[in-house]
Amino acid sequence: MSDTHREVELEKIGPARFRATNARGGVVTLGGGDDPDFTPVELLLAALAGCAAVTVDPITARRATATTFRVKAEGEKVRDETGTRMTELTVTFEVEFPEGPDGDAARAVLPSAIQRTHDRLCTVSRTVETGEPVVMR
């Protein structure tokens, strides 16, 4: 297997409940929305926010450690003649840094880090935006 290959396996664990496991043994449960588990759409939003966060954080952390680092992903689920999908996807950062020169340097680089993440670095949002086909077998 190449170092570019990614894989997650999903197993049914109950009515409308599933367990996803990655190659490293990490586990997340998902469901249909009638329990506390994440729904697939919520996982998509978490993936958008998470990818952006793990990309931006190291760039700013080289200058200063954030005192607040929150990322929110949101959108609208629509159903029309083409089927169901998410629209108006938005990822919003709330980041604060300590006072002083290091915090100033982190604040200065934050907008460009977010822009580079959007334009080139976040695999999840780049895949959503480019519309890569999904094959179901």
| Domain interval for residue 34 | 1-38
135 is a domain residue: no
Q: Within this chain, do residues 69 and 103 fall inside the same structural domain, yes or no? A: yes
Q: Within this chain, do residues 31 and 85 fall inside the same structural domain, yes or no? A: no
Task: For the beta carbon of residue 45, count every other beta carbon within 10 angstroms.
Answer: 20
Q: Where are the beta strands (DSSP E) in 15-134?
A: 17-22, 27-31, 68-80, 83-96
Tallying the residues shown for the chain, one arrives at 137
Q: Which helix (H) or strand (E) holds 46?
A: helix 40-61
- Token pair listed for 13: 């664990």
137 is a domain residue: no
pLDDT digits (tens, 9 = 90+) for 38-76: 999 999 999 999 999 999 999 999 999 999 999 999 999
Number of domains the chain contains: 2
Q: Within this chain, do residues 85 and 119 fall inside the same structural domain, yes or no? A: yes
pLDDT digits (tens, 9 = 90+) for 9-34: 999 999 999 999 999 999 999 999 99
